[in-house]
Amino acid sequence: MLGQIASFLADVVASFFVYLLLARFLFQWLRVPLRNVLGEFIIAGTNWMVLPARRVVPALLGLDLASFVLAWLVQGLGLWAIYAIAGRHFGSAPEIAAALLAGLALIDLVRYALVFLIIALLVQALLSWFSPYSPMNSVMDAVTRPLLRPVRRFVPPLGRVDLSPLVLIVLLQIVLIPLAHLRTQLGGML
């Protein structure tokens, strides 16, 4: 029972920081303005890690690689903690275990980013219906617009209803399925 509680807490803490760091990376990549409540929360929650990491991990092609590398590292450490709490010891082949954990962490980052985008699509749809003039609506629009643009070329609006967010959510869910299988296969190798 205590092991389950410790695993749960390790997962919650790691996931919280991974989502913050991924949001920072995605916001910067998608050119989402950070001068809003959500952006300020993300900056305040991650600056203490990202600013020192930028001295070691430089930006590349305008991407904030420090945020991404930190998210990957935090997810890897979180997975290691969960496996260690469960009684898994990697003493016989630590290099292989480290490579597998790094691969699992990378797959998790992709999965988390897709889930983040699905949530952003849902929040944007709800805000457009119930609170179209909310300041968060422009933030969610900035997150989802680059992803919806190609979908809207193939899925035009039906009357006044835009089905492109629904189509994109379905496509992202389809991408999550093979990622889950790949993660299960890699996790079984540990």
Per-residue pLDDT tens over the stretch 71-129: 999 999 999 999 999 888 777 778 888 999 999 999 999 999 999 999 999 999 888 88
DSSP code at position 76: H
Percent of the chain whose pLDDT exceeds 70: 100
Long-range own/partner contacts, residues 46-54 (CB < 8 A, 24 or more apart): 46/17, 46/20, 46/21, 46/70, 49/17, 49/21, 50/21, 50/24
pLDDT, tens digit, 9 for 90 and up, residues 136-165: 888 999 999 999 999 999 998 888 888 999
Cα–Cα distance measured from residue 72 to residue 22, given in angstroms and rounded to the nearest whole number: 9
pLDDT at 172 over 90: yes
Q: Provide the CA 47 distance to its chain's centre, in angstroms.
A: 17
How many folded domains does the chain comprise? 1
pLDDT at 35 over 80: yes
Q: Is the dihedral of CA 8, 69, 150, 157 positive or negative?
A: positive
| Confidence (pLDDT) at 92 | 77
Which residue matches tokens 């913050």? 20
pLDDT at 57 over 90: yes
pLDDT band of 130, cuts 50, 70, 90: confident
List the domain range (segments joined by +) for residue 66.
2-188
| Confidence (pLDDT) at 122 | 94
| Confidence (pLDDT) at 177 | 97
pLDDT at 190 over 80: no
Mean pLDDT, all residues of the chain: 92
Which residue matches tokens 């991974």? 18
**Looking at the whole model, is its pTM more than 0.95?**
no
